[in-house]
Structure 1
Amino acid sequence: MKQIHQYEEVLSFLNKNDKALVYVMTTDCSVCHADYPKVASIVKDTDIPAIYFLADKLPEAAGQLSLFTSPVVILYKSEREYHRQARIIDFDTLRLRIDQLIQE
């Protein structure tokens, strides 16, 4: 997963990819850093385009995406939010939703 540093990069990524995953974490969040390898593994297995960013380093994106906690995983289809999980990520549900998204 590629790290994003500007909100415009998030918009460009979503514009270029019909189906995509965005993972959001914060610098001092131990859960975020523990969940990152699990999300990255799912991304690698499913081959869905994915990015991540640090919400505390990119407050504009956090505001525009209505992010109030971390970690957050958001799936997009055609630049629209398809599925969101925040704070506690259920990896089985995430994998199921990615599979459903890819099949559409």
Structure 2
Amino acid sequence: MKQIGSFKEWLKIIEQNQELLLFVKTDNCSVCDGLYPQVEDLHAMYPIPFYKVNVAEVPEIAGQLSLFTAPVVLLFTNGKEYARFARFVQMEELKRRLGELVERGIKIERID
């Protein structure tokens, strides 16, 4: 997963990627530390960019995305939030939604 270091960087990323996953964590969060490897493992299975951000380092992103807890996994398509998973993420549901996002992207590519 690529690390996001600033809100300005996030704005470029969301503009440049049709679909993406954003993993949001914070400092001293054992749930974040436990979930991260599970989400990171999914990257090999889904052909979309995966990014991570620590809201303790980039607090503007928490305000702009209305994030009130951590961890949060966000899926985006066409610059808009597609799905949100907060705190205790059900991995099967995340996989299902990632599959939908990939299928949607493939359909869009075929139309273009």
TM-score between the two structures when normalised by the length of structure 1:
0.97
Shift of 1:21: 0.5
Question: Paired residue for 2:107?
Answer: none
Q: Which amino acid aligns with 2:46?
A: T
- How many equivalent pairs are there? 104
Q: Which amino acid aligns with 1:44?
A: A
Q: Distance in 2 between matches of 1:89 and 1:11?
A: 25
Q: Distance in 2 between matches of 1:9 and 1:102?
A: 24
Q: Which amino acid aligns with 1:100?
A: E
Question: Paired residue for 2:75?
Answer: 75
What pairs with 1:9-88 in structure 2 (closer than 5 Å)?
9-88=9-88
Question: Paired residue for 2:95?
Answer: 95
Secondary structure of the equivalent of 2:31?
helix
Q: Distance in 2 between matches of 1:32 and 1:59?
A: 16
Question: Paired residue for 1:7?
Answer: 7
Rg larger for: 2
* Identical-residue share of aligned pairs (%): 39
Q: Which amino acid aligns with 1:81?
A: E
Q: Distance in 1 between matches of 2:48 and 2:37?
A: 15
Unaligned runs of 5+ in 2: 105-112
> Runs in 1 of length 4+ with deviation above 4 angstroms?
none
TM-score between the two structures when normalised by the length of structure 2:
0.90
Tell me how large the CA RMSD over aligned residues is: 0.7
